[in-house]
Structure 1
């Protein structure tokens, strides 16, 4: 029996977790500085990553050359990307940030894939991807904010668009390394380096938090981010992406805004429009069409 559906299910689950994390994190931002909260998310996850790596694989070390590569990937993909996401949301509307961040990402992953891996861009991927793009556009623009391309949002718009370009390159850069080492080992060291680079940027934020007044909701938000949105999600996403190919996997990021809309409905009483429902159906159809590919056309270069 073909087990590939397990990896597609993993991609969908992780995207739903990241989408729901929008609601969880937005509540936490009322107490924590965005960069400090990002550091807590990744920094507190590091010991868990190393513990699991030691238990599962018996060792935690990596060669010096790989350490240099992962330090660069961690700097760009964890430190830089997370900060860019935060400030893109700050300087533009949520609809703009979501559309310009999420929608182009899989396209750039497919375009840049030949630089890192050998992946065949099939007609099924093109048709399914187009349907998913239309669907996610309806989901984002069908909300109350809509799209605003005014000059006041230009900085945020450029940051959000840059996230989609850099994010695609960051995903693809991990693929050749996962040919030689497990996704768990790659994720562990990448997040360690990303956290180390992020720490100096938090030094002015720790004193702004009244740590003695934190309640159960704050600790729940931190635990969700550390254990679910980071530890579980990064391992599952990287392992699944390696199995199905980066081009296909990144189209499943379109589940993120759909899950964010659902989270907004349950956590913040935000409405769901008919256009968003149509978009969800269209997106789901596109992703199902992609996942029906008989076999993944992905071979990582040695």
Structure 2
């Protein structure tokens, strides 16, 4: 069993602010990815995002080259490969392809299952106790997300299909990878582990793109300036910064508690839709937001 590192109250408040920022970026990224998916093949989009993230993390490692880091042993390398396959390769392929095949509402509901899946994985793999406070937090947060998403203008649950199954699959792979990272990043550090994971994941995605016969032409990889800007935001800001911060928080307070912040992703998604697209909000959105706040506060409390 790998327990999260102890954290002080000021550090916990700092992590809360950091995770709130990350989920805001990821909420905005959901809209960006939905737009990017209309320009790119799913394999190309996933490969470009992962490659840019890996390159930026590699540059950060080079900048910190004076810092001594122990070489990874065979078990740690195996964990890196497993995380790369789950959190980068399979996750990105399923999420990119699933977003094209399902509605925004269905995708938001499927992604809202992440805290529940992560808590169950932490219980099964890391043997963490799933206490009543965490169960209550998960239930409140999930209920709040459903209220926020389903009360949005024009929102409706379409018939479930292959797209929904793909998005749920991406949630499961991300959750399992997060459990593995909790142990790996404590033995190395978040940047070292994340850079290795994204480097290996990029190689897997590039091989996938080559084997599936994606066109090597410039149009397949550069459909225009605006799509490229969205890819840069998605890869460098949402993916690189977001995953480094997320993995750092996992090391400090554990994957089960960190995962509860995922409820804020669809909430921010709806908020950005209202702010940027002029969609209206109702009192039900306030009720849902209150439930998400309460669920996050209750579920992330550390037991005495």
Give yes or no for TM over 0.5. yes
Give distance in 2, aligned partners of 1:41 and 1:296. 38
Q: What is the alpha-carbon root mean square deviation over aligned residues?
A: 2.4
Please point out which of 220, 228, 232 is paired with 1:223. Answer: 232
TM superposition shift of 1:277? 3.1
Q: Structure 1 pair 58/108, CA: closer, same or farther in 2 (3 Å)? A: same
- Is the 1:42–1:226 Cα contact (8 Å) retained in structure 2? yes
Q: Structure 1 pair 213/181, CA: closer, same or farther in 2 (3 Å)? A: closer
Give distance in 2, aligned partners of 1:16 and 1:88. 21
Indicate the residue corresponding to 1:35 in structure 2. 43
Matches within 5 A, 1:99-248: 99-100=109-110, 102-143=111-152, 144-148=154-158, 150=159, 153-203=160-210, 204-207=214-217, 209=219, 214-215=224-225, 217-248=226-257
- Is the 1:97–1:157 Cα contact (8 Å) retained in structure 2? yes
TM-score (norm 1): 0.86
Q: Structure 1 pair 229/118, CA: closer, same or farther in 2 (3 Å)? A: same
TM superposition shift of 1:106? 1.4
TM-score (norm 2): 0.85
Indicate the residue corresponding to 1:80 in structure 2. 90
Tell me if 1:22 matches 2:33. Answer: no
Give distance in 2, aligned partners of 1:90 and 1:211. 18
TM superposition shift of 1:196? 0.6
Point out where structure 1 has 5 or more consecutive residues left out of the alignment: 298-302
- Is the 2:145–2:292 Cα contact (8 Å) retained in structure 1? yes
Q: Structure 1 pair 248/59, CA: closer, same or farther in 2 (3 Å)? A: closer
1:191-211, Cα deviation, whole Å (9 max, x unpaired): 111111001333414426277
Indicate the residue corresponding to 1:11 in structure 2. 19
Give distance in 2, aligned partners of 1:15 and 1:42. 19
Q: Aligned residues, how many?
A: 290
Q: Secondary structure at the match of 2:269?
A: helix
